[in-house]
Amino acid sequence: MLKIAWSPVYKYELPEGHRFPMVKYELIPEQLQYEGTAGTDNFFHPDPLPEQVALLTHTKEYWDKLTHVRLSEKEIRAIGFPINEKFVHRGRHIANGTLQCALYAQTYGCAMNIAGGTHHAFADHGEGYCCFNDQAVAANYLLNNHLAKKILIVDLDVHQGNGTASIFRNEPRVFTFSMHGERNYPLRKEQSSLDIGLPDGMTDAPYLDILHDTLPRVADAFQPDFIFYLSGVDILATDQLGRLQISREACRERDRFVLSFCKQHRIPVAVSMGGGYSRRIADIVEAHANTFRMAQEVFF
């Protein structure tokens, strides 16, 4: 059974004209149910992230600032959303959604969050639409509870997973692999265990070649017993921020490859959606929906 974390709180009301496509958090579960990729049994509403779990990853000072809504103007600007209690509440549900997906993945092989991939959140601050780092929170939970020994984070969002890289910089039990646009945000990159910076305009064949070559090599050397996959669809040619030229078909092939790899090697995988900023909302929804379709096809 493909378990999918989702809650109505995922969709956060933004001011008119804000460029973040928040509506995808409503349209994707609708689409998946409409077409029969997922039914009501598949979805679960995650609990809010408890403080003691958050503090395995984030500093107490940052947690207090968020939960008491006491960030400075500058800190709020860095995150890029207006911040109130609702937003922090939403972030806690999303982060815990990924954590619960990780636990479901250990039972079912794969589980997915309709949000998350908030890889620009650091231990002590947020940026780039991210406040809590969901995959880091879930990874630290697994390690802390002896539910995994070696965790591989496969971050294929077009932006570098700078927060994740920084959080695990000195953690040998977590391997961070980020494949991203070299000239894209964040301009100042952190050092992941493995960074592959892609040139602007990269097309399908070389992109998939790099992935096909790198993932097996990394996994072979590191031998993870758990994988987090960040399946951002901002690699698409239609993306307004992406700078790459990847087709929707190649994006789906990317998902197929990563998920099949996990399945073949019997490594549980928890998937977080990540970014997607195509002009047409249908392009975003369709590409994200492909990840869920592929999970059903590969695992169930």
Which residues form the interface with Zn ion (CB under 5 A)? 157, 159, 232, 234, 275
* Closest CB to Zn ion among residues 97, 275: 275
Q: Which residue is nearest to Zn ion (CB)?
A: 275
* Closest CB to Zn ion among residues 29, 232: 232
Give the closest residue to 97 by CA, choosing from 109, 112, 119.
Answer: 112
* Closest CB to Zn ion among residues 159, 189: 159
Place of tokens 């294929």: 156
* Closest CB to Zn ion among residues 96, 272: 272
Give the closest residue to 159 by CA, choosing from 136, 145, 179.
Answer: 179
Q: Tokens standing for 166?
A: 């920084």
Q: For residues 155 and 215, is the Cβ–Cβ distance under 8 A?
A: no
In the complex, least distance from residue 102 CB atom to Zn ion, rounded to whole angstroms: 21
In the complex, least distance from residue 184 CB atom to Zn ion, rounded to whole angstroms: 8
In the complex, least distance from residue 120 CB atom to Zn ion, rounded to whole angstroms: 8
Give the closest residue to 116 by CA, choosing from 95, 100, 101, 137.
Answer: 95
* Closest CB to Zn ion among residues 234, 253: 234
Crossing angle for the helix pair 281-299 and 248-264, to the nearest 10 degrees: 30
In the complex, least distance from residue 160 CB atom to Zn ion, rounded to whole angstroms: 9
SS3 sequence of 98-138: HHHHHHHHHHHCEEEECCCCCCCCCCCCCECCECCCHHHHH
In the complex, least distance from residue 157 CB atom to Zn ion, rounded to whole angstroms: 4
* Closest CB to Zn ion among residues 157, 190: 157
* Closest CB to Zn ion among residues 143, 237: 237
* Closest CB to Zn ion among residues 104, 155: 155
In the complex, least distance from residue 116 CB atom to Zn ion, rounded to whole angstroms: 12
In the complex, least distance from residue 276 CB atom to Zn ion, rounded to whole angstroms: 8
Query: Coil, strand or helix: which one is 74?
Result: helix
Q: Which residues contact 274 (CB under 8 A, 6 or more apart)?
A: 116, 117, 119, 156, 157, 230, 231, 232, 233, 234
In the complex, least distance from residue 148 CB atom to Zn ion, rounded to whole angstroms: 25
Phi, psi of 269 (to 5 degrees): -135, 130
Q: Which residues contact 45 (CB under 8 A, 6 or more apart)?
A: 5, 6, 7, 93
Q: Tokens standing for 216?
A: 């097996």
Strand ranges in the chain using DSSP code E only, listed in sequence order: 3-5, 43-44, 110-113, 151-155, 174-181, 194-198, 226-230, 269-272
